[in-house]
Amino acid sequence: MADFDPMKFFALWMFTHDQADDLMVQSVERGSAVAGEGMSGGADAFTDGFMAMVAEEKARLKEQIASGKLEEAVNPQDEALEEVRFEVAELRAAVQQMQTTLDAIAAHVVPTGA
Amino acid sequence: MSARSTQITRTLLAAGVRGTVRSRFGLTSASARRAAFAAEWRRAFETLGGAFIKLGQMISVRPDEFGDELAREMECLRDNVAPVPFAQLKPIIEASLGAPISSLYESIEEKPLATASVAQVHAAVLAKAYRPVWGEELPVGAEVVVKVIRPGTADALRTDVAEARRFASKRLVRRLLRGIDVDASLQEFAASLERELDLRVEGRVADRFAFDFRPDPKIVVPRIVWTHAAPKVLTMERMYGWRLSELSEAELAGVDAHALAVHGATAFMRQVMLYGRYHADLHPSNLFVTPDSRIAYLDFGIVGHLTPAERGDIAQVLAGFVYRDADRALRYSADLGVVVPPHKVEMVRRELGELLDKTMGGGSTDFRHFGFGFLGLLRRNGIAIPSGYGLLVKSLATVEGVARRLYPDIDIMEVARPFVTRMIGESMGRPDKIQERLPKVWRAAMRELLA
């Protein structure tokens, strides 16, 4: 086996990066094509579309970093709290509706029709 | 035989005879024949009223089961019922809510705002403030609407369903309706009618929608007054604006129609793919555009429900449609119950690919044409279509139609593309997905490198 050549190793590493970068840029370009005009459709089209969206997200992130205003992630605990709040409110409404039914029965009013 | 039974038999037979004559005794093309019969069935349903109006509405959202022509025709069904005098509704309201009307509402209009075969709607003013399940409190004097089930409706509808079952059991009718699972459809119909006869079901769905859309200021759902609710009575916030079916060009000029159309379409996709509950009866009279350019949802009679797994599969199927990837669409459709027999896979894939290129490629898309074409393709190949799948395709086609009323040039697939792409991208980050996919990714990479 030939001796390890760091120059060749890094050259290969750089070449791989260049190739991958080129492919990524081409994928983003294809995915950014609007209304399917530039997009061929088929199995690879989704990957291109996805890469275009990742590129948009990257641009947004870059802008946020530059302006120092990073979006805060939604706290899952807040979401869970809201859900519980809603369930409690639903229960309150169900009890209120049952009270109405009880009142109706207590009023001894016989429904007409229906 | 009861008078109603005789009326149903006569009306349906007459429609059948007229359909036969209009289709020149079957000598016209199959599609012209189906269209002729569909028009006659629609007229017959309008004449019969009652449960037949509801049946027609159900058929209109199920092109998978009843065919495109009949579903389209039933969309034009008119609910021509005379209003019930308020004097007949007042005792129902008071008996249901256990109090005199004067203590419940500051005032109530005797002239109805809207009349339909099942319920009638009257404008009213709330006598006491009410804190709804979600959203701000409704103050004293808040404008509300009172929806009341029309007297005698429940019995009449149940009688009609029984008659429809009896009629459907006849051999001639079975032959005419071959290819349709009549018993299952009537079963589903009877269950949905029972749900509709209890207005509290609609109220609960409205509350859930209000909660789901809480971060979205552009979507509004009427708040329900549960102290004034019972199976036959539902009181809810009154919405002002224009029904989409009544929106004129002048009114459209005052709103950002494109933004509203895109927002409405995205809101529907969020219902399907994020919340798993969607308004499945989104015809233009169930949607309001408010003067401050918001979309108000009304009438939650038909609601579709989806499990988390189904939501993921639907996103994938939709991605297959959007990116014209027939393989992806068919693979995930199978998970939703659309199973193509192995010997037909190649043919269905080819036909689906052609349909996708014809309707979804080349710069402009037509989802309605595609969706109904796809259902027709499955039907022609004898592939069973689960009811939820058909309902969803129809709903998406309706959303496209509704959005186009607001903005005729909207491309619904352009709206769907970033949505489904992001959804699938986000699901990729789930640990269970990574665990499931990583070995396959590794194997594929090694295969490629070692090839």
Q: Which two three-digit tokens encode residue B233? A: 């009575």
Closest CA to B234 of B299, B155, B302, B140: B299
Choose the mutation target among A46, A57, A78, A85 for the interface with B, i.e. most B CBs under 10 Å: A46
- Residue B367: strand, helix, or coil: helix
Average pLDDT over residues A67-83: 80
CB contacts of B363 in chain A (<8 Å) are: 35-37
Residue B35 vs residues A35, B222, B319: alpha-carbon distances, Å: 33, 38, 32
pLDDT at residue B177 in the model: 66
For CA atoms B268, B272, B278, B280, give the dihedral sign: positive
Binding-face residues of A in 1-30 toward B, CB within 8 A? none
Sign of CA dihedral A83, A84, A89, A92: positive
- Nearest residue, CB atoms, B422 vs list A34, A53, A114: A53
Assess whether pLDDT exceeds 70 at residue B55.
yes
Contact, B233 vs B96, CB < 8 A? yes
Would you list the DSSP string of B394-429? HHHHHHHHHHHHH-TT--HHHHHHHHHHHHHHHHHT
Q: Give the helix/strand (H/E) hosting B243.
A: strand B242-243
b/e map B90-104, b = 16+ CB within 10 Å: bbbbbbbbbbebeeb
Which residues in A lie closer than 8 A to residue B425 (C-beta atoms)? 50, 53-54
CA atoms of B244 and B295, how far apart (whole Å): 10
Residue of chain B with shortest Cα separation from A43? B325
Residue B149: the pLDDT is: 94
Top residue of A60, A95, A112 to mutate, by most chain B CBs within 10 Å, is: A112
- Cross-chain CB nearest to A110 (options B95, B357, B365): B95
Q: Are B167 and B173 in contact (CB under 8 A)?
A: yes
pTM of structure: 0.79
B29 vs B99, which has greater pLDDT? B99
Indicate the domain borders of chain B: 3-79+162-194, 86-153+197-237, 244-435
Other Cβ atoms closer than 10 A to B444 = 11
CB contact under 8 A, B363 and A37: yes
Q: Is B261 on the interface with A (CB under 8 A)?
A: no
- DSSP structural state of residue B84: P
Question: Across-strand partners of B147?
Answer: B121, B234
A87 interfaces chain B, CB cutoff of 8 Å: no
Using a 10 angstrom Cβ sphere, with 0-12 exposed, 13-18 middle and 19 or more buried, the burial of residue B113 is middle
Q: ipTM higher than 0.85?
A: no
- How confident is the prediction for chain B on average, in pLDDT? 85
CA distance B160 to chain A (A): 15
B86 close contact with A: CB closer than 8 A = no
**Range of weakest confidence among A59-63, B309-313, B424-428:** B424-428
pLDDT bracket for residue B145 (50, 70, 90): very high
Q: Cα–Cα distance between B348 and B186 in angstroms, integer?
A: 30
Structure tokens at B11: 């009306």
Task: Say yes or no: A73 contacts chain B, CB-CB below 8 A.
Answer: no
What span, in angstroms and rounded, lies between the C-alpha atoms of A59 and A32?
A: 14
Q: How many CB atoms lie under 10 A from the CB of residue B266?
A: 18
Phi, then psi, of B274 in degrees rounded to 5: -105, -50
Taking CA–CA distances from A57, the nearest residue in chain B reads: B422
B96 touches chain A (CB under 8 A): yes
A42 touching chain B per CB within 8 A: yes
| Contact flag B226-A96 (C-beta cutoff 8 Å) | yes
CATH class of B86-153+197-237: alpha beta
Averaged over A23-50, what is the pLDDT?
76
Q: Please compute Rg for chain A using Cα positions.
A: 31
A112 vs B226: CB contact, 8 Å cut-off?
Answer: no
Half-sphere exposure of B318 (CA within 13 A, CB side): 27
- C-alpha pair distances (Å), B165 with each of B56, B183, B384: 15, 8, 23
List of chain B residues whose C-beta atoms are within 8 Å of the C-beta of residue A50: 421, 424-425
Query: Residue B448: what residue type?
Result: E
A vs B, Cβ pairs < 8 A, gives 130
Alpha carbons A81 and B252: distance in angstroms, whole number: 39
Least confident of B198-212, B238-252, B323-337, B418-432: B238-252
- B404 interfacial to chain A (CB closer than 8 Å): no
Residue B254 reports pLDDT greater than 80: no
* Predicted pLDDT of residue B416: 86
Q: With 0-12 CB in 10 A as exposed, 13-18 as middle and 19+ as buried, what is B175?
A: exposed
Which region among B223-227, B390-394, B439-443 has the lowest average model confidence (pLDDT)? B390-394
Residue A100: pLDDT band (50, 70, 90) is very high
| Residue of B99, B111, B310, B143 lying closest to B236 (CA atoms) | B143
| Alpha-helix residue ranges (DSSP H) falling in B228-282 | 249-253, 257-270
Angle value at C-alpha B71, between B66 and B75, nearest 5 degrees: 155
Q: A26: part of which helix (H) or strand (E)?
A: helix A6-32
